[in-house]
Chain A
Amino acid sequence: MASTAIRPSMGALGRISSAGATTAPRPLISTTQTASLSTTTALLKRHKYPGARDNKDYSKTRGESAIRRTGTRWRLSMSDEPLPKPVPREQLPAIETDPDHGLWEFFANRTTVANPPEEDAKHGRSWSVEELRHKSWDDLHRLWWVCVKERNRIATANWERNKSRLGFGEAEALARDREVRATMRAIKHTLTERFYAWEDAVKLAENDPEVDLTGDGPAFTPRDYLEEGEATAAEGEQQQQVAEAAEETAEKAQPAPAVTPDPATIPIAPEYDVIVLGTGLTECILSGVLSVKGKKVLHIDRNDHYGGCVHRIPLDPLFKKYGNYAPGTEPWKQYGRLNDWNVDLVPKFLMSSGELTNILVSTDVTRYLEFKQVAGSYVQQGAGPKATVAKVPSDAAEALKSPLMGIFEKRRMKSFIEWVGQFDIKDPATHKGLDMSTCTMREVYDKFGLEPGTKDFAGHAMALYSSDAYLDVKGGAPEAIERLRLYGNSVARYGKSPYIYPLYGLGELPQGFARLSAIYGGTYMLNTSVEEIVYEGEKAVGIKATMRGIEPEMKFETRAKTIIGDPSYFPGKVRVVGHVLRAICILKHPLASTNDSDSCQIIIPQSQVGRKNDIYIACVSSAHNVCPKGYWIAIVSTIAETSANHHLELAPGIERLGKIEEQFMGPPIPLYEPLEDGRKDNIFISRSYDASSHFESTTDDVKDIYKRITGEELVVEGLREGIQVAAE
């Protein structure tokens, strides 16, 4: 051992020499000192018999002593580690902020946190009540929010001043705030005055025989004055003369030589079977169906385009209709080719197994139209920022992934839907022991133990009821079940969603039926106003009308046993049954959480937003040729429940849309229904389009009117049997 200690290995020698001569002897000395004097093997290294005690030292702190200040056995300091250097501020990437961020509004300007006191002191006086009395509601509304914003700015500045302990400026800010508050008080004062004035007016109106506040019929019926009666008599005479003159010219023009009889050469006949006024969808379906059945139809519209209320309009008339522009400007210029826009005024889709589809197929009007599926049907749960929008499941896989229901609820829903599929009104065995003649839908839901949320989406997003009234209708369950089946069948037809939508918009539908009617000999006159309905006794027997837009205007008179029209032609024969609120919005993005669909429907059930009626959002896009690429058109609609603040009623729907490029919202649209069924006076009036998202109620109206006119049911199947097409 000694020899190895004295004679280091060759490798060790190299290290020693490189370390330097002075340090070389030290390892030698230390090795000599630590060498063991004993020749016996150290205890630790001795052979251990089996089961011997392990004498390894497990103490981690062995040898550590506070008294001897040994320190820990491991290194504590990280001082050798290079510390990361902070990036200089100027090298940091700039944080992107929105220059139009709403929070900027809380500051007077963008460079300082608070205005200097002299700036704050520069303010005028508050508005006085006297001045505000002359302002409109809109002006007051606007001024109120200007004040609210100003107060927010002052409060922000106060807080900043306090935080930075500036110690000045409070007095000036307070004086400014006082003036703003005075203005706000004056606004409230003015509005209160107006409210009292309105109350007084209502009291007066209740006692006024000319005013009818019940909501049925026109609100204001002025009494007849003598001058008016005289005027109409004179006008009538004049009309007759002109009509005679027109007849004469028509007679002169008639003998024009024609090679073959062209339908175009047939003049206005003295008598038709049916005269239809207005080219809305209901009227056009009726005139098409009646023409196919061999009736001679004259179809008149006072507008120069087809469709009445459903008609689609290009963009610039839309701006003009709603007055969304400053005079002299043309904001529609920024939206590309105007002819690319076909904005519907009625937000409806077709159910792909619905009755309208059946009529389209059976009359072969489908050959003029092209349809595309609506990508999805969605329903909202919850309200406000926490609301979630989820697809109404259209197949088993989607149902399993659907966030609309919990795991147990999905099972209950499954058995409910399966039961709906098997349900047969004639077979009591499928009624689950419920008496269908008296049973309400609520009882059916409870039978299956469905949760309120599930009832909501089944009733509103699938059965498409717009309020909860259906739940407690005695014997109403079969109808609700039928609606659920219609939804299911419509989804099953093309998958994805139950809705289809015609390319170029809903305005195509009346045009298609109008062409059907024309092919079967129907005569069409647009741009023609009806001056008078001619009566004999109680029955209407004809009309007097003028066709405009040609030189000279053509006045004519013709007779018919039946007159059909939309409510706008018979203001005295209809009553208002409600109002629809509608906002048409142009967007540059698809709706949030709809999987970027090109089209969709979102239903916000009334219970989720504390209303009585559902809010519908219908969204279509360039995929349906209704607008240029990159745009979406969304229509939010609901039934009005209040008499003011209509924009607040639509707010939950509009919130879903995100950034809106352009919003068109007019006054509430009245819904009309006829006062009488038309059998007495031969005038059959259609109903207005309701707020629902599909056309089922429209086709019901068509069938109803058809039955009243002809006395027989409209059989949809086999309508096309009468249609002959030149075969190849």
Chain B
Amino acid sequence: MADSNTPKPSSSVKLVLLGEAAVGKSSLVLRFVNNDFQENKEPTIGAAFLTQKCNLPTRTIKFEIWDTAGQERFASLAPMYYRNAQAALVVYDLTKPTSLIKAKHWVAELQRQASPGIVIALVGNKLDLTSDGAGSGGDADGAGAEDSGDARKVTTEEAKTYAEEEGLLFFETSAKTGYNVTEVFTAIANAIPETSLKTARGPGASHTAGRTEEQRVNLNGPRDPNAKEGCAC
């Protein structure tokens, strides 16, 4: 992901964040978007959505990441939020068992409402609070973690079994240390089927893939300065 200047086919993908309040959804995205890409400005509250490029060997994926903007707090997330999303990040808190239950609820909701080909990743966040978190790196699958007296309340086994049953991508991350964060997005980018992609367009463009564009109107387009006043009769 070092060189973003290579001309490669580029596609934009709508990615939505879901999960209980305070599991670290926004932090996860901030870590991913701001980590080592200086060309991106500091995102502010009031961003409609964040964008980040992800370079794969064969193509470039531009993520348009929609944050919940706090609307999930009082169960007031609009269906518009996950409409036409091609990828979803369902986040839970490794130290909070109820957040996994909530995450399962979101997965079910996505399978019911979202487009059929959606790629869902289940992410357990706050790995830094567990004993196998910060330093030890790669061996996140260690099953012995739960009895080492750390803050972990959800075992890797439990979440992983669930993810396999439902066919989800599964990761445990730490937004604080940055561990595993880019891997999540790269895995999602790889999992998105080539067929559901199309060439990227500017922000505000259609987020849908493989649908006809006829008759669709772009309100942001400049008005024809020569457009006649009055009726054209």
Q: Could you tell me which A residues sit within 8 Å of B by CB distance?
A: 256, 258-260, 262-266, 301, 304, 306, 339, 352, 357, 360-361, 364, 366-373, 375, 393-396, 398-399, 413-414, 417-418, 420-422, 462, 484-485, 487-489, 491-494, 500, 504, 508, 511-512, 514-515, 518-521, 523-528, 547, 549-550, 623, 722-728
Contacts and interface: CB of A to CB of B under 8 A. Distances in A.
Which 6 pairs between the two chains have the least Cβ-Cβ distance? A421-B230, A264-B21, A263-B70, A488-B231, A511-B78, A399-B233
Nearest to A508: B80
A515 B231 contact: no
6 contacts: A370-B216, A394-B231, A492-B232, A508-B80, A520-B46, A525-B74
Nearest to A458: B231
Given A414-B233, A489-B229, A306 B219 contact: no
B217 to A, nearest CB: 5
Given A372-B217, A549-B75, A725-B47, 18 more contacts: A262-B24, A262-B25, A263-B70, A264-B70, A265-B21, A265-B73, A367-B203, A370-B206, A413-B233, A420-B231, A422-B230, A492-B224, A511-B80, A515-B78, A519-B48, A526-B75, A723-B46, A728-B39
A726 B41 contact: yes
B51 interface: yes
Contacts of B126: 259
A371 B81 CA distance: 16
Contacts of B76: 301, 306, 514, 524-527
A633 B220 CA distance: 28
Contacts of A421: 228-231
Interface stretch (B26-34, B133-141, B152-160): B26-34
Given A366-B204, A549-B75, A361 B219 contact: yes
Contacts of A420: 230-231
Contacts of A725: 47-48, 203
Nearest to A365: B48
Given A256-B22, A339-B113, A724-B46, A418 B230 contact: yes
The CB with the most chain A CB atoms within 10 A, among B44, B75, B112, B230, is that of B230
Nearest to A549: B75
Contact of B72 (A264, A395, A489, A508): A264
B83 interface: yes
Nearest to B228: A492
A500 B217 contact: yes
B176 interface: yes
A366 B202 CA distance: 13
Given A515-B81, A550-B75, A395 B232 contact: yes
Contact of A521 (B26, B41, B45): B45
A17 B73 CA distance: 120
B233 to A, nearest CB: 4
B22 A524 contact: no
A395 B216 CA distance: 20
A68 B176 CA distance: 130
B33 A726 contact: yes
B180 interface: no
Nearest to A307: B78
A702 B4 CA distance: 45
A489 to B, nearest CB: 7
